[in-house]
């Protein structure tokens, strides 16, 4: 949803990164220049992780009115998770990367160079990066799987400092602003650790409160023994004795996954919590919290499920707010997240027979299941690996107890409605990141799956074995996969270089992108009553900028835009229902769900033929 700004202490927010130079629509971190607060740096996900949108570092010199990409020297997969500006030399900027190590710029972000010397595995994710306020050439970096590293020469050289750090899955790192030799580390599964000697030695803090998956740490600058921790699924915890003891501090926080914490001391102390459900503020040291979300309207929709017979009942999955249900065709939405401990939803699937049963694929916590239409959810991940990224779901329409889930490590299959899962990935590449799974409704032992940038794979034995079927795909980087509802042999592959069709179950593919040229196709849906009518999400391949929805009424030969009323043009998913003569098309975008109702595609004008005169 981008960057938002408030000038009234969080009372209201306004977006400052849409249509003004920032092509990436997800932002992981924002850092303000310590001397010139109108200079901002934003770290965003990178090209291979968010549908090819150019990511990395964006810079604004006018308080967010406009942004320019500042990525020269950064790797292609430039997911930036951390940004630090040297307070003594503000042209010196450091960034931590997801899978790319640490980079440094000495010219305000214009150019970057890797500073990896001593980092044992720079491909580990960087989730913590701090510079000492008293000596900014001393840096600490926290890495997922690598623990903590220290540099005393501005990042030129690094040394591991993990003695006593029994969990090296670092999620956050912070330094006491008054005693810089005191550091805290948040870990994934091991709680919080503390060092009082500059990282030479670590010890676990008290954990009677049961903190395990800590995401973020903040220290009160006026009372540094007061420390706050934000956890995944467990809310906020507070310590007033330097981490010796912790207690929950969640009154008023309605979203349990805390992604960031910030303390602002300006006469009075306010604590801010950034969650998957918005921003919360406390002015009494975490005793009570209130939402501070007016104007934070953008919601990234990741999936839409429409009830097969009650077509006004919808479920949507979102990237950070969990699941919502509407029973009036999208007019009013109600959160359906009870028991859903991870609210980053990648996919939803509804049992076609028992429609109160739904499955949710989450980013990091596997699969959840509800049997009461979303009122209550429970984990359904037995047999999946630890903390899997569940990316896609498919249900066998003839035997709905058979369910497939695509994950970052492959396809898993359940034959008991999600109670147990078994890896079913023979023939798939390593770490395939399976974003789409389709089951042939006519022959359910035939299953299709996409494997990140490796294209489409097909199984004819219920997922036991897979074979690549990429003949004719120009670039096998798949963004969507759809099946003609009237002919399961006809498949559509939305790729980074346009839309392709196969009419023989994937044996061969042909590009059907017409004048759209090298633009990418981000999503596709087929009109079931008129299969030659296709709707596609479109984006510019050169920079990832969304171009909205296009329609073809001649099976992809020609295309026309269909964007009236669409204000967010990056389309991640398309769905279609018919309640009469005209279809209703739904577009899931980075900024919410859009509906296009009552549009009747024009009937193609037949090409006139010339009848030769009859000889007499």
Say how many C-beta atoms besides its own lie within 10 A of residue 13's C-beta.
20
pTM for the model stands at 0.67
Helix or strand holding residue 319 (H, E): none
Domains 115-298 and 300-468 share a fold: yes
Quick check: 348 and 358 in contact, CB under 8 A? yes
pLDDT at position 181 is 94
Tens-digit pLDDT profile for residues 361-412: 998 789 999 999 999 999 999 999 877 789 999 999 999 999 999 998 999 9
Distance CA 575, CA 584 (A): 8
CA distances, 562 to each of 37, 382, 577, 586, 595 (Å):
41, 44, 17, 12, 11
Helix or strand holding residue 302 (H, E): strand 301-306
Distance CA 424, CA 465 (A): 7
Helix or strand holding residue 192 (H, E): strand 191-195
Tokens of 37: 């607060």
Tens-digit pLDDT profile for residues 115-139: 999 998 888 889 999 999 889 999 9
Q: Which residues of 278-316 are buried (b: 16+ CB within 10 A; e: fewer)?
A: bbbbbeebbeebebbbeebebbbbbbbbbbeeeeebbbb
- Residue 102 phi/psi, 5-degree rounding, is -120, 140
Which residues, given as ranges, of the chain have pLDDT below 50?
47-52, 604-616
Q: Where do the domains of the chain lie? A: 1-107, 115-298, 300-468, 481-501+512-605
Tokens of 183: 């550091």
pLDDT at position 120 is 87
Can you spell out the DSSP letters for 81-148?
A: EEEEE-SSSTT-EEEEESSS-EEEESSTTSS-EE--TT-S-TTSPEEEEEE-SS-TT-EEEEEBTTEE
Quick check: 541 and 496 in contact, CB under 8 A? yes
Displacement of CA 28 from its chain's centroid (Å) = 10
pLDDT at position 294 is 73
Tens-digit pLDDT profile for residues 161-210: 999 999 999 999 999 999 999 999 999 888 999 999 999 999 999 877 77
Torsional class of 64: left (φ above 0), alpha (ψ -120 to 50), beta (otherwise): left
Quick check: 104 and 155 in contact, CB under 8 A? yes
CA distances, 596 to each of 318, 325, 379, 521 (Å):
20, 19, 35, 19
Instruction: Pick 300-468's CATH classification: 1.10.287.130, 2.40.10.10, 2.130.10.10, 3.40.50.300.
Output: 2.130.10.10
Quick check: 236 and 258 in contact, CB under 8 A? yes
Strand partners, 213: 188
- Residue 570 phi/psi, 5-degree rounding, is -95, 105
Nearest alpha-carbon partner for 176 in 240, 237, 132, 238: 132
Distance CA 154, CA 137 (A): 4
CA distances, 502 to each of 303, 343, 427, 442, 471 (Å):
24, 35, 21, 17, 10
- End-to-end Cα, the chain, rounded Å: 73
Distance CA 404, CA 411 (A): 7
Nearest alpha-carbon partner for 212 in 171, 253, 252: 171
Nearest alpha-carbon partner for 603 in 540, 504, 532: 532
Check residue 454 and report its DSSP letter: G
User: What pairing do the DSSP bridges indicate for beta strands 80-85 and 93-97?
Assistant: antiparallel
In the chain, count H helices and then E strands. 0, 53
Q: Where are the beta strands (DSSP E) in 427-516?
A: 436-439, 447-450, 456-459, 467-468, 478-484, 487-495, 498-502, 510-511
Helix or strand holding residue 423 (H, E): strand 422-423
pLDDT at position 295 is 66
CA distances, 500 to each of 68, 341, 437, 456, 460 (Å):
33, 38, 17, 12, 22
Largest CA-CA distance found in the chain, in angstroms, rounded? 109
Distance CA 366, CA 373 (A): 19
pLDDT at position 497 is 85
The CATH code that applies to domain 115-298 is 2.130.10.10
Distance CA 108, CA 359 (A): 46
Quick check: 49 and 59 in contact, CB under 8 A? no
Residues 6+ apart with CB under 8 A from 52: 477, 479, 496, 520, 539, 541, 544
């Amino acid at each position: 949803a981008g960057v938002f700004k408030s000038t009234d202490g969080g009372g209201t927010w306004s977006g400052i990164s849409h249509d003004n130079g920032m092509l990436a629509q997800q932002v992981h971190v924002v850092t303000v220049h310590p001397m010139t607060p109108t200079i901002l740096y934003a770290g965003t996900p990178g090209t291979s992780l968010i549908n090819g949108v150019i990511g990395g570092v964006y810079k604004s010199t006018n308080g967010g009115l406009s942004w320019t990409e500042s990525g020269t020297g950064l790797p292609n997969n430039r997911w930036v998770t951390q940004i630090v500006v040297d307070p003594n030399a503000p042209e010196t900027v450091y960034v931590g990367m997801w899978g790319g190590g640490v980079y440094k710029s000495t010219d305000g972000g214009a150019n970057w160079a890797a500073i990896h010397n001593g980092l044992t595995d720079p491909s580990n994710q960087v989730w913590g990066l701090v510079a000492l306020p008293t000596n900014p050439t001393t840096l600490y970096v926290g890495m997922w799987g690598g623990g903590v590293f220290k540099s005393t020469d501005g990042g030129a050289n690094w040394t591991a400092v993990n003695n006593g750090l029994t969990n090296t899955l670092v999620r956050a790192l912070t330094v006491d602003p008054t005693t810089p030799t005191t550091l805290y580390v948040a870990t994934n599964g091991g709680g919080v650790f503390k060092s009082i000697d500059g990282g030479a030695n670590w010890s676990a803090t008290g954990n009677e409160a049961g903190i395990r998956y800590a995401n973020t740490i903040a220290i009160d600058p006026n009372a540094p023994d007061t420390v706050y921790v934000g956890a995944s699924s467990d809310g906020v915890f507070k310590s007033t004795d330097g981490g010796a003891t912790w207690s929950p501090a969640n009154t008023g926080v309605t979203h349990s996954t805390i992604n960031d914490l910030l303390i602002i001391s300006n006469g009075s102390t306010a604590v801010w919590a950034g969650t998957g459900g918005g921003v919360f503020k406390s002015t009494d040291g975490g005793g009570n919290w209130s939402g501070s979300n007016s104007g934070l309207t953008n919601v990234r929709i990741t999936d839409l499920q429409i009830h097969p017979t009650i077509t006004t009942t919808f479920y949507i999955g979102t990237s950070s707010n969990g699941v919502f249900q509407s029973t009036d065709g999208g007019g009013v939405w109600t959160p359906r997240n009870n028991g859903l401990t991870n609210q980053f939803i990648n996919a939803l699937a509804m049992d076609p027979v028992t429609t109160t049963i739904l499955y949710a694929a989450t980013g990091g916590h596997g699969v959840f299941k509800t049997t009461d239409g979303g009122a209550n959810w429970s984990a359904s991940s037995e047999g999946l690996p630890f903390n899997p990224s569940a990316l896609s779901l498919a249900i066998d329409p003839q035997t709905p107890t058979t369910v497939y889930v695509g994950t970052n490590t492959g396809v898993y299959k359940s034959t008991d409605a999600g109670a147990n899962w078994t890896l079913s990935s023979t023939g798939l590449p390593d770490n395939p990141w399976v974003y789409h799974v389709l089951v042939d409704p006519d022959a359910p032992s035939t299953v299709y799956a996409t494997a990140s940038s490796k294209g489409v794979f097909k199984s004819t034995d219920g997922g036991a074995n897979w074979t690549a079927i990429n003949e004719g795909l120009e670039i096998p980087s798949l963004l969507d996969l759809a099946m003609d509802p009237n002919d399961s042999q006809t498949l559509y592959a939305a790729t980074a270089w346009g839309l392709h069709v196969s009419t023989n179950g994937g044996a061969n593919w042909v590009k059907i992108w017409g004048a759209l040229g090298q633009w990418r196709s981000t999503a596709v849906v087929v009109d079931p009553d008129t299969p030659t009518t296709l709707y596609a999400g479109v984006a510019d391949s050169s920079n990832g900028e969304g171009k909205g929805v296009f329609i073809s009424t001649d099976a992809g030969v020609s295309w026309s835009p269909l964007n009236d009323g669409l204000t967010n043009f990056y389309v991640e998913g398309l769905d279609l229902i018919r309640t009469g003569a005209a279809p209703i098309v739904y577009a899931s975008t980075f900024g919410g769900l859009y509906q296009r109702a009552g549009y009747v595609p024009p009937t193609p004008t037949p090409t006139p033929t010339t009848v030769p005169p009859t000889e007499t």
